Amino acid sequence: MTTADLIGKILQLVMGLAVFAALVGLLIFLIDRAPKKGRDYWQLFLFLAPAIFLLAIGLIYPAFRTTALAFLDKGGNFSWDNFVWMFTQPAALRTLLNTIIWVLLVPTLSTALGLAYAVFIDRSRGERVYKALVFMPMAISFVGAGIIWKFVYEYKSAGREQIGLLNALAVAFGGDPVQWLQTDPINTVLLIIVMIWIQTGFAMVVLSAAIKGIPTEQIEAAQLDGTNAWQRFRNVTVPGIRGSLVVVLTTISIATLKVFDIVRTMTAGNFNTSVIANEMYTQAFRASEVGRGSALAVILFLLVLPIVIYNVNVLRKQREIR
């Protein structure tokens, strides 16, 4: 396709959208002259129609299409082979195990570190600077973070100058350089560290704001009762920020289940480091196994769904209490 053809396609798309917007505006204008009750329903429908249309073509249809492909073999026949492959092949089972390890470690450690940091620097001198330092990794894309940490784990053979920080330290203390990203299972842990490094800043900011929302009277009353710092943290701070803790944990869990960029950038899923999102891409677009990739997408959706439902229920209960 030439540049002129591409420009022509873009112009056609813009013109189509303009015509669609004009038709919607005309319909709203005509309905505005109708009786009030009927007009309200039609206006509501027309205002929602563009969003419903975009959701249908961008989310609902692909979801149904992906689910259908998950139950088809290469010949287009209904089959359970894609799911059988997922739960019987060692490589697929290792992918599922890695994903479980990610979702257990990343949310827990990120939230714990973020909470500890938020508590220790709360109302301290230079609090804004300390927060900015921890939050800065959130401004970096996952691909950028993967490249940065890939240099940290970089390996050069013995006798050569080590440009990787981790191997430079190992050699400085008399050890030998290690191919960190090729050493199983420590390579998975090293990838997880990158995600924790990014998500700790998010947890810290949210939890710090929640801590500042705890009424000062509660803390002062606990101090008058003779409680120590740990008792105030356990009995006052944690109950006061329980809702924020749930939001942080569930948000990081969802992001961790969908992690792709870090793994793809640093190891491409090799050396037993693959996770569901990366394997889904590999099977569908590299190995031309669309059915297997779709089956992995369905499993990923089923893993994310309970977390989303739980998060919504918690927020609904909090709203009812208020």
Determine contact, residues 178/250, Cβ cutoff 8 Å: no
Q: How far is CA 57 from the centre of its chain?
A: 23
- pLDDT tens string 12-45: 766 666 666 666 666 666 655 555 565 666 666 7
pLDDT level of residue 77 (50, 70, 90 thresholds): confident
Residue-range domain boundaries for the chain: 3-53, 83-144+200-321
Residue 4, pLDDT above cutoff 80: no
| Residue 173 half-sphere exposure toward CB, CA atoms < 13 A | 6
| Whole-prediction pTM | 0.83
- pLDDT tens string 155-214: 988 888 888 999 999 999 988 999 999 998 999 999 999 999 999 999 999 999 999 888
pLDDT value of position 30: 60
pLDDT value of position 36: 58
- pLDDT tens string 271-302: 999 999 999 999 988 888 999 999 999 999 89
C-alpha–C-alpha distance, residues 111 and 18, integer Å: 46
Determine contact, residues 255/199, Cβ cutoff 8 Å: yes
Please tell us whether the domain made up of 83-144+200-321 is placed in CATH 3.30.1370.60: no
